[in-house]
Amino acid sequence: MQKRVEYLLERTMYASRWIMAPIYLGMTVILMVLAVKFFQELYHFVPHILELPDTDIILKLLTFIDLALVGSLTVIVMFSGYENFVSRMDIESDTEKLEWLGTHDYGSLKTKVTSSIVAISSIHLLKIFMNLHAAETDKLQWYVIIHLTLVVSAFFMGYLDKISKH
């Protein structure tokens, strides 16, 4: 009886991983939202390229890069998370396949996510520095502190992941 209960419990817990599948599928909606926002920004930006000062153009380009990085991060989390926690993706051999698909374990996924967050934070901080006259001094200090915290956290997570692999 105890073996049977243990078996059912383990099978139920193992099957529950499929609860995550709709969440990963829902991340495609996030990608669509990012695409809409990207093209909305592009639509408002392009007609004014010739009249905008260089700094405003650079700030807007950083916004586009920021959106692209968030989209890339979403794709990485969506595919790697699905493959690590739900099921392997059965992609036909004649279909174009992402090179990294199936190669990220949970540790490398964490490293990619933290690296992407640091990159996004860096772009955000660069945008603030490029528009320094509009930034509040007390908030600027907190932006830098938060960014440095993210950098240090990413470094230690990568270092711990490297140690654990050896």
Q: Could you read off the pLDDT of 109-164 as tens digits, one per residue?
A: 777 788 888 888 888 888 888 777 777 777 888 888 998 999 998 888 888 877 87
Burial class (CB in 10 A: 0-12, 13-18, 19+), 80: buried
| Residue 95 CB neighbours (<10 A) | 6
Tell me how many degrees the CA angle 106-107-113 measures, rounded to the nearest 5: 85
* Whether pTM exceeds 0.85: no
| Residue 125 CB neighbours (<10 A) | 17
- 47: tokens are 């007609």
